[in-house]
Amino acid sequence: MTVNGWIQILVFCGIIIALVKPLGGYMTRVFNGERTILSIIFGPLERGLYKLAGTSDREEQHWTTYTGAFLLFNFAGFLLLYVMQRVQGSLPFNPAGMGAVPPELAFNTATSFVANTNWQNYGGESTMSYLVQMAGLNVQNFVSAASGIAIAIALIRAFSRKSGKTLGNFWADLVRATLYVLLPICVVGTLVLVWQGVPQNLNPYTVATTLEGAQQTIAQGPVASQMMIKHLGTNGGGFFNANAAHPFENPTAFANLIHMVMIFAIGAALTNVFGRMVGSEKQGWAILAAMGVLFIAGVVICYWAEAAGNPLVHALGIDGGNMEGKEARFGIVLSALFAVVTTAASCGAVNAMHDSFMALGGMIPMINMMLGEIIVGGVGAGFYGILLFIIIAIFVAGLMVGRTPEYLGKKIEAKEVKMAMLAVLCLPLTMLGFTAIAIVLPTGLASIANPGPHGFSEVLYAYTSAAANNGSAFGGLSGNTPWYNLTLGLAMLMGRFLVIIPAMAIAGSLVTKKVSPASAGTFPTHGPLFVGLLVGVILIVGGLTFFPALALGPIVEHLAMIQAPGL
């Protein structure tokens, strides 16, 4: 670990903290339907879209209608994407002449992009046409992110509205998230990336002759436009198979910083939107602080593990940290930081191979995902995820102040607890359940590259990543098989929708509740005490469940390494 490394980490944290207030303030105005500087440009377009859809932003929806609209929209997106992949051979913008994507892979990919996971069982440059990349995958990059934000906003309204029945209009929230938040940032960011050297064209792949005289096909295409939304929308689906480790996706340290900042920007700002909408920004900062504590802890462990390197390699007389699977232009600190950022948020873009991390270094991304990606989290998803933990934390500890637990004046009762537990239950069910089945089936075992605990980690990581809608892969596992395509697709669907539906049920119940005014007897939810409590509950309720699995994967791998004979 170096001072330079720590400075880079601090600079990153500083930028995120500086962005929270302005972006949060802007987003609050957008979702409150107030005028913003962009209203002049997008206002007419927005109203035109509502007219076209036959709705109005004033048409308020009950939680069931809101959720129904969300599900319908996502299902339509899934169908469209599936069909596009299957018939891409007969569609334009296909200079490389890609054929139809096989059904299981098309299912897996469609699910993956609709669920904001972007698990990629395909190589982008060797499977997808430009049209599918742009009009299929990239459109879902935008709208799956916007859908997630909409859900978070609906849940925030459940707390901020003082007894009502409705949560806003899904269509309006979707349109506003896309037009006013995602699109403008992406347009500006894309230009910056192009300046940094990221390609943005529709040219056929270039065939170059190398110095040795060999022929090399250099893949390219509309990369920059996909890069911005891939990170800003915490999607993570790379244009190329190597994802953000590829020099065309992530050419410089500056581009890398932009990527990382984009991954956290909206998720972090949503805490501020929450604070503003419920009338106390402190409430938002408290949530961000809890996320921050977990994030910093993750970065420290991961950076330490990678910088410390492998004692077995050291024994051979080779000093230094672990550089296996890392790009030299990013080094240890930016690879470790990127790994923690991308798994803390549900992005899944990678600039280094997590499979090659040290056992403990690779465990941190896994834990981040197992906690449900509530450390900043996926856009929207991270926020509703942490709200579920807040509900549980408040319920358990809130009793200790001698009142019926309440958060921001809304009482947490049987219905909220039931739904929060259902949502939380979904993660171990998919992550542990599918892993347990996969590692006893021959078809599941066949895809594992490494034997022993590391192979176990590969499978565990895959289902964890899918269920948490992360999409990053540990590598090593050959996921493009019918078994993994189908089960990972299922895990992604469960991880997304079986959390969102209960979360929306909570929103529907909370919005109708009266707000009891705060008094000296009210559980304070903006101080360090609450932050500590929340972190504790997240680790004990969310994390301990995975302790046996982690013990048999990365922990035993690490212990075996340090206890290896010859050290």
User: Min. distance of Cβ 445 from other proteins in angstroms?
Assistant: 8
Of 215 and 563, the one with the shorter C-beta distance to other proteins is 563
**CA–CA separation, 152 vs 499, rounded Å?**
12
Say how far residue 283 (Cα) sits from the centre of its chain: 23
User: Which residue number, 16 or 500, has a Cβ lying nearer to other proteins?
Assistant: 500
CB 423, min distance to other proteins, A: 10
State which residue, 53 or 564, has the beta carbon closest to other proteins: 564
Q: Are strands 206-209 and 410-411 parallel, antiparallel or unpaired?
A: unpaired
Nearer to other proteins by Cβ, of 316 and 414: the residue is 414
**What minimum distance in Å lies between the beta carbon of 169 and other proteins?**
26
CB 247 within 8 A of CB 239: no
Other beta carbons less than 10 A from residue 161's beta carbon:
21
Residue 150 in contact with residue 271, Cβ under 8 Å? no
Comparing CB distances to other proteins, the nearer of 40 and 440 is 440
Asked if residues 351 and 325 have their Cβ atoms less than 8 Å apart, the reply is no
CB of 31 to other proteins, least distance (A): 25
Q: How far is the CB of 439 from other proteins (least distance, A)?
A: 4
- CB of 355 or CB of 458, closer to other proteins: 458
Q: Is the CB of 139 or the CB of 293 nearer to other proteins?
A: 293
Q: Min. distance of Cβ 317 from other proteins in angstroms?
A: 25
Closest Cα to residue 294, out of 51, 545, 537?
Answer: 537
Q: How far is the CB of 558 from other proteins (least distance, A)?
A: 9
Rounded to a whole number of angstroms, the minimum distance from the CB of residue 513 to other proteins is 9
**What are 476's two structure tokens?**
């090593």
Q: Do residues 486 and 108 make contact, with C-beta atoms less than 8 angstroms apart?
A: yes
Is the CB of 21 or the CB of 418 nearer to other proteins? 418
CA distance 528 to 146: 32
* Distance in angstroms (rounded) separating the CA atoms of residues 370 and 362: 13
* Burial grade of 93 (CB within 10 A; 0-12, 13-18, 19 or more): middle
Instruction: Tell me how many degrees the CA angle 270-274-280 measures, rounded to the nearest 5.
Output: 135
* 206-209/215-218 β-pairing: antiparallel
Q: Which of 108, 206, 87 is nearest to 482 (CA)?
A: 108
The Cα 128–Cα 485 span in angstroms is 17
Which residues would be at the binding site for other proteins (CB under 8 A)?
A: 392, 395-404, 409, 412-414, 416-418, 421-422, 424-425, 428-429, 432-433, 435-437, 439-440, 452-453, 456, 514-517, 519-524, 527, 529, 532-533, 536, 540-541, 544-549, 551-552, 555-556, 559-560, 563
For residue 369, the tally of other CB atoms under 10 A from its CB is: 30
Q: Whose Cβ is closer to other proteins: residue 48's or residue 452's?
A: 452
Q: Smallest gap, in angstroms, from Cβ of residue 537 to other proteins?
A: 8
CA distance 208 to 249: 19
Please tell me the distance from the alpha carbon of residue 451 to that of residue 127, in angstroms, as a whole number.
Answer: 29
Beta partners for residue 166, in sequence order: 62
Which are the contacts of 415, defined by CB distance < 8 A and separation ≥ 6? Answer: 505, 506, 509
Toward other proteins, which CB reaches closer, 107 or 530?
Answer: 530
CB-CB contact of 32 with 153 (8 Å)? no
Q: State in angstroms the smallest separation of the CB of 555 from other proteins.
A: 7
Between the alpha carbon of residue 126 and those of residues 129, 133, 483, the distances in Å are 9, 12, 22
Residue type, 95: P
Inter-residue contact 180 to 297 (CB < 8 Å): no
Cβ 50 to other proteins shortest distance, Å: 34
Query: H/E element holding 218?
Result: strand 215-218
Return the number of the residue (220 or 430) whose C-beta is nearest other proteins: 430
* Alpha helix ranges (H) inside 199-252: 223-232
Q: Which is nearer to other proteins, 314 or 415 (CB)?
A: 415
Q: How far apart are alpha carbons 352 and 243 in whole angstroms?
A: 9
Is residue 429 a contact partner of residue 370, using CB atoms and an 8 Å limit?
no
Q: Which residue has the tokens 């106390």?
A: 280
**Min. distance of Cβ 318 from other proteins in angstroms?**
24
CB of 438 to other proteins, least distance (A): 9
When the beta carbons of 313 and 439 are compared against other proteins, the nearer one is 439
